[in-house]
Structure 1
Amino acid sequence: MDQDFLVSVLDVHKDNLQFIWPSLVCSIQNSSFISLDCELSGLGSRKLINSQAVDDRFINICEVAKTRSIISLGLSCFKLSGPENDESSKNLNFSVQTFNLMALCSEDYVVEPSALQFLVTHGFDFHKQYSQGIPYYRGNDRAGKGKAKKATWDLRDLFAVVISAKVPLVLHNGLVDLVFLYQNLYADLPTKLSSFLADLEVMFPNGIFDTKFVAEFSVRTNASFLEYIFRSHQLKNMNLKNSSRAHVICNHTLIESDFIDFWDCSPRLQNEEDLEICSNYINHGFCNSESNCKKSHDVYRAVLLEDQKKAKKRKRKDDNNIARTEVENVINITRSSRQERFKGHRAGHDAFMTGFCFASFIAQKMSVRPNGANTVCWKELVAEVADVRNRVCLSGKDFPLLIQKSAFSKCSKSHLEKYERLFPSDEAN
């Protein structure tokens, strides 16, 4: 088992939040970057949230966020460990803390059967959500909240801690998550997209990164759903390691606890070599007849086969030999049965996968540096990926949504008031 991928996920709910709160805050405040993922009670009409006009798309997603809720929040804190200015180092060593927070909106909200069926299929525990979900309310802060010292903490306080950390925020296909986080845990959404983008630029001054945008526009993977790019980055990272180039090393807290679940997401092949790859699943991450499909849904196998195809196309003989050796080394790994298929989609799991993809992307940038340029100063590394900063994927579009304040837009009133309460000494606009 690869210890990099034995992920410890700290399960957080209303009965243990106050106990875990200090370590949760410490992990956030000491992070180099934070990756987030939300599980939601529904998304409404796909046609509306993917409207052709981007302004209409924003308005429609806002309506969904005001009527649906966050039911689980995944948060993975990546801290670059070791001496950051040690130029002899060529690897990215991260200490990783991953949390899965069960959430329960205190107000009425819409629940969509299709969303619930999807979550149940992937092991979501609705009994636990309703019995132990951390309560929260939507929109603006309530009167009398925020100034006095609190005896208890909630998800709105947690999101304020994330904002106060002022580190890069990483999401996958993040527009919907950003809208939901804003409405559910921050303040009432502005009516204009331009104000929303101006607010986000202030809230996250060190940038927002979308791994789906990175996959589609920078790395250009064959598919861009989360599991595919995660497995793709796993393989690339192992190839970099095997060739003694810069790669990611994840160090997880492997302490036994009643609150910690261990998730083994090591790369493994399913015993499906005799089956044809299901193109629908591998290209899009779902199959309409998944329960009855006779084809292989083994994403890691598909990634390996694609890597082999690319290796054969390389012109240089030495590169060909290295690539074949790497694939052979990786392919001799644990095999699992069809019943043990990859189980993602838990918010904490998805948050870790998203963060790992971002870290791996940076390591790949490091690996092609000129000899001697191996510094792992975090600010320098993030600056090297400025071309993907503040660019959020827009489904069906060949351009991203740019998170930036335009000359013709202002921050929203709700944001200005909230930000002033959180950070009285900061400039909010």
Structure 2
Amino acid sequence: MNILPIPKPLPSVPLYNDINKNNLFELQLIINHIIDSSSLISLDTEFTGLGRISDGIRAQNLEERYKALKNVVSKYALVAFGLSLFLKSNKSKEDPNCIQFHNHSFNFLMLSQHDYLQSSKSMKFLIENGFDFNTQALKGIPYIPGENKRLNDNNPLTEYNNVMRRIFNRILRRARKVPIVVHNGLMDLMFLYQSFFSPLPDKLDVFLADLAKMFPTGIYDTKYIADYVIRESSSFLSYLFRKEERMQLYNKDIKKSEYIKCFIKKRIQCMEQLKKEKVKLKRPLDTGKIYCEQYAAHGFCIFGKECTKTHDLDVILDEQMKEKQKPSKRKRRKDRKKMKQTDESNESSQINENEIVDSLIIFEDQDLQNQADIPENNTPVTSNNNSKILNTNQVIVKNFETYHSAYFDAFMTGYVFCCQCIESEEKILNSDHANKLYVIGKSIPLLIRTSPYTKNSEQCLKILETI
């Protein structure tokens, strides 16, 4: 079997801290301490609905689109908040090309105290990706979106709501010195603003001016960078992440380029251990391409779990690399025969030491058994077909089937951004690539800036004065 020129790293599920109402009070101080020491803050959210196109959420006029999205944010709810904190280390003298980061990731399970809508499509998506609504109802952190009013002291929800707002304010304080990173993050920022800061302004210009004031060091959107700066062929998050894992090992091997090594910090000791979950993946059809072309292009598939072709990003990347090396025209019969042989070869030699190598995402201070304990909720699930446990002295994990969850999306976003910073010919940091958000259906980004003719909202200025 041909050895690919770019190595395939060991898949790595990052450890994370599951924050719920049972441990929020206990962990708030250490969370704030880690925020204060971070070099990069990456954010992601999960919510109960995206709204309908007919309601104007894709309107060409951005002011009309903002009003439609504001209506969505007010009717639906944030259910998970992913926070991934990266601390950059000094370069080692032994390997000056290695850029090291230490990472802590947190998944805040949230429960809005306002009545809200739930989209059936969003519920299906969340459940398929491991979200447990029963756990949310029992352990979700109560919060009150909108105006930052202090509740009656006799109300038990008061302190939960106040603690989450204090953590968000801590992020805003740190954002004066370090960048904030999102991926296609307009809706994420709107939900965070509404949930933990203040009611969304009525006008888009005021909202953008508030964001510029809240995050003065800059907001970076990895989807915008992938599409408009680096010009990636696909720019959905999990594709970028898996591709960057390969590229970092390639850069390390050639010993001529800088590369990223990320050390995943152990879970905070008081965290609860959740059970594992295993989900079967159906075998792909042996006709045409063996992977789902829609998923390869956009990161989603209309058939979801019922799709008969694989969504495995390693398979997609392998096949795309092979396609580039082959003539553009090939006979279907010959393709089917080769794909059948490839499937048989994969089954017999799934763990080939010459093809699968260690990842540069490394787990620190955690024994093998704890590293293998991948929590049930909000965790990428694995395929039972054609997958064997990969065992190294670093970690025991299985290959990914799905990637979506707030903490993992936040981690991937931060990791991809670190890689983009060293791979792009243009300087990403301290450049005009900051404060540009990707907008679906638009050829230009949405600029986060303060207009000479726009004032910040009074509530924004009032809150920031207290931080």
Global fold match (TM > 0.5): yes
Alignment partner for residue 254 of structure 1, among 235, 246, 266? Answer: 266
> Which residue identity does 1:28 align to in structure 2?
I
> Which residue identity does 2:264 align to in structure 1?
H
Distance 1:23 1:52 in 2: 44
Residues 82 and 407 in structure 2, CA contact (< 8 A), matched pair in contact too: yes
| Aligned-residue offset at 1:292 | 3.5
| Aligned-residue offset at 1:279 | 1.0
| Aligned-residue offset at 1:129 | 0.7
Distance 1:203 1:218 in 2: 25
Residue 458 (structure 2) aligns with: 413
Residue 367 (structure 2) aligns with: none
Residues 10 and 261 in structure 1, CA contact (< 8 A), matched pair in contact too: no
| Aligned-residue offset at 1:115 | 0.8
| Aligned-residue offset at 1:195 | 1.0
| Aligned-residue offset at 1:6 | 4.4
Alignment partner for residue 344 of structure 1, among 398, 403, 411? Answer: 403
Alignment partner for residue 158 of structure 1, among 141, 154, 167? Answer: 167
| Aligned-residue offset at 1:395 | 0.4
Distance 1:329 1:363 in 2: 28
Residues 285 and 308 in structure 2, CA contact (< 8 A), matched pair in contact too: no
Residue 118 (structure 2) aligns with: 111
Residues 271 and 336 in structure 1, CA contact (< 8 A), matched pair in contact too: no
Alignment partner for residue 43 of structure 2, among 27, 36, 52? Answer: 36
Residues 65 and 184 in structure 1, CA contact (< 8 A), matched pair in contact too: no
Mapping 1:323-338, distance limit 5 Å: 331-332=355-356, 337-338=384-385
1:61 aligns with 2:69: yes
| Aligned-residue offset at 1:278 | 1.5
Distance 1:46 1:121 in 2: 23
1:79 aligns with 2:90: no
Mapping 1:247-326, distance limit 5 Å: 247-254=259-266, 257=269, 259=271, 276-307=290-321
Cα distance change, pair 68–151 in 1 and its aligned pair in 2 (3 A):
closer
> Which residue identity does 2:460 align to in structure 1?
H
Distance 1:8 1:198 in 2: 36
Distance 1:235 1:304 in 2: 11
Percent sequence identity over matched residues? 32
Alignment partner for residue 429 of structure 2, among 379, 382, 385? Answer: 382
Tell me the secondary structure at the aligned position of residue 307 of structure 2: coil
| 1:56-105 superposed Cα distances (whole Å, 9 cap, x missing partner) | 11111111111111101010000101269x89832220000000110011
Residues 17 and 105 in structure 2, CA contact (< 8 A), matched pair in contact too: yes
1:226 aligns with 2:237: yes
Tell me the secondary structure at the aligned position of residue 259 of structure 1: coil
Residues 391 and 403 in structure 1, CA contact (< 8 A), matched pair in contact too: yes
| Aligned-residue offset at 1:333 | 5.5
Residue 267 (structure 1) aligns with: none
Cα distance change, pair 263–413 in 1 and its aligned pair in 2 (3 A):
farther
Tell me the secondary structure at the aligned position of residue 34 of structure 1: strand
Cα distance change, pair 193–333 in 1 and its aligned pair in 2 (3 A):
same
Shifted more, 174-183 versus 356-365: the winner is: 356-365
| Aligned-residue offset at 1:418 | 1.7
Residues 99 and 261 in structure 2, CA contact (< 8 A), matched pair in contact too: yes
Shifted more, 187-196 versus 391-400: the winner is: 187-196
Distance 2:131 2:95 in 1: 45
| 1:116-148 superposed Cα distances (whole Å, 9 cap, x missing partner) | 111111110111111111111111211589xxx
Mapping 1:184-263, distance limit 5 Å: 184-244=195-255, 245-254=257-266, 257=269, 259=271
Q: TM-score, normalised by structure 2?
A: 0.75
Mapping 1:84-103, distance limit 5 Å: 89-103=96-110
Residues 7 and 263 in structure 1, CA contact (< 8 A), matched pair in contact too: no
Distance 2:384 2:12 in 1: 19
Residue 137 (structure 2) aligns with: 130
Cα distance change, pair 261–60 in 1 and its aligned pair in 2 (3 A):
farther
| 1:317-361 superposed Cα distances (whole Å, 9 cap, x missing partner) | xxxxxxxxxxx9984459964486423211111111111110111
Cα distance change, pair 18–192 in 1 and its aligned pair in 2 (3 A):
same
Residues 294 and 301 in structure 2, CA contact (< 8 A), matched pair in contact too: yes
- TM-align CA RMSD: 3.3
Cα distance change, pair 256–28 in 1 and its aligned pair in 2 (3 A):
closer
Distance 2:354 2:40 in 1: 29
Cα distance change, pair 9–330 in 1 and its aligned pair in 2 (3 A):
farther
Q: TM-score, normalised by structure 1?
A: 0.81
> Which residue identity does 1:418 align to in structure 2?
I
| 1:157-206 superposed Cα distances (whole Å, 9 cap, x missing partner) | 21111101122111111001111111111011111111111111111011
Aligned length: 385
> Which residue identity does 1:183 align to in structure 2?
Q
Residues 103 and 129 in structure 1, CA contact (< 8 A), matched pair in contact too: yes
Residues 6 and 262 in structure 1, CA contact (< 8 A), matched pair in contact too: no
Residues 8 and 263 in structure 1, CA contact (< 8 A), matched pair in contact too: no
Distance 1:211 1:36 in 2: 12
1:363 aligns with 2:426: no
Residue 390 (structure 2) aligns with: none
Structure with greater helix percent: 1
1:46 aligns with 2:53: yes
Tell me the secondary structure at the aligned position of residue 11 of structure 1: strand
Cα distance change, pair 261–308 in 1 and its aligned pair in 2 (3 A):
farther
Residues 311 and 401 in structure 2, CA contact (< 8 A), matched pair in contact too: no
1:402 aligns with 2:447: yes
| Aligned-residue offset at 1:258 | 5.5
Shifted more, 134-143 versus 249-258: the winner is: 249-258
> Which residue identity does 2:214 align to in structure 1?
M
* Unmatched tracts of structure 1, length 5 or more: 265-269, 314-327, 370-379, 423-429
| Aligned-residue offset at 1:3 | 8.1
| 1:210-261 superposed Cα distances (whole Å, 9 cap, x missing partner) | 1111111112222221111111222222211121221111111135845277
Cα distance change, pair 3–62 in 1 and its aligned pair in 2 (3 A):
same
